[in-house]
Amino acid sequence: MTIYERIAEELDKLEAQSNLRRLPHLTHQEKHVVVNGRKMINLSSNDYLGLAADRSLREEFLQQLTVDEFMPTSSSSRLLTGNFTIYDRLEEELANRFGTEAALVFNCGYHANNGILPAVCTSQTVILADKLVHASLIDGIRLSNATCVRYRHNDLTQLQRLIEKHHAQCDQLIVVTESVFSMDGDRADLRALVALKRQYPKVMLYVDEAHAFGLYGPTGLGCAEEESCIADIDFLVGTFGKAAASAGAYLVCNRLLRQWLINKMRPFIFTTALPPLQMAWTLFILRRLPAMGQRRLHLQQLSASLRDALRQRGMECPSESHIIPLMIGPSSEAILRADALQRHGFYLLPVRPPTVPEGTSRIRISLTAALTQEELQQLIKAIDE
For binding to ligand PMP (CB under 6 A), which residues are involved? 108-110, 113, 134, 136, 178, 182, 208, 210-211, 239, 241, 249
DSSP string, 194-209: HHHHHH-TTEEEEEE-
Q: Determine whether 289 is exposed, middle or buried from the number of CB atoms within 10 Å of its CB (0-12, 13-18, 19+).
A: buried
Q: Min. distance of Cβ 138 from ligand PMP in angstroms? A: 11
Q: Min. distance of Cβ 299 from ligand PMP in angstroms? A: 17
Spatial contact of 251 and 261, defined as CB atoms under 8 Å apart: yes
Closest to ligand PMP by CB, 110 vs 281, is: 110
Closest to ligand PMP by CB, 42 vs 239, is: 239
Q: Min. distance of Cβ 303 from ligand PMP in angstroms? A: 17
Closest to ligand PMP by CB, 91 vs 383, is: 91
Closest to ligand PMP by CB, 184 vs 376, is: 184
The residue whose Cβ lies closest to ligand PMP is 109
Q: Determine whether 204 is exposed, middle or buried from the number of CB atoms within 10 Å of its CB (0-12, 13-18, 19+).
A: middle
Give SS3 for 135.
Answer: helix
Closest to ligand PMP by CB, 19 vs 136, is: 136
First to last CA, the chain: 48
Q: Min. distance of Cβ 175 from ligand PMP in angstroms? A: 16
Q: Min. distance of Cβ 136 from ligand PMP in angstroms? A: 5
H or E element: which one contains 13?
helix 3-16
DSSP string, 63-123: HH--TTT------S-IIIII--HHHHHHHHHHHHHHT-SEEEEES-HHHHHHHHHHHH--T
Q: Min. distance of Cβ 212 from ligand PMP in angstroms? A: 9
Closest to ligand PMP by CB, 283 vs 376, is: 283
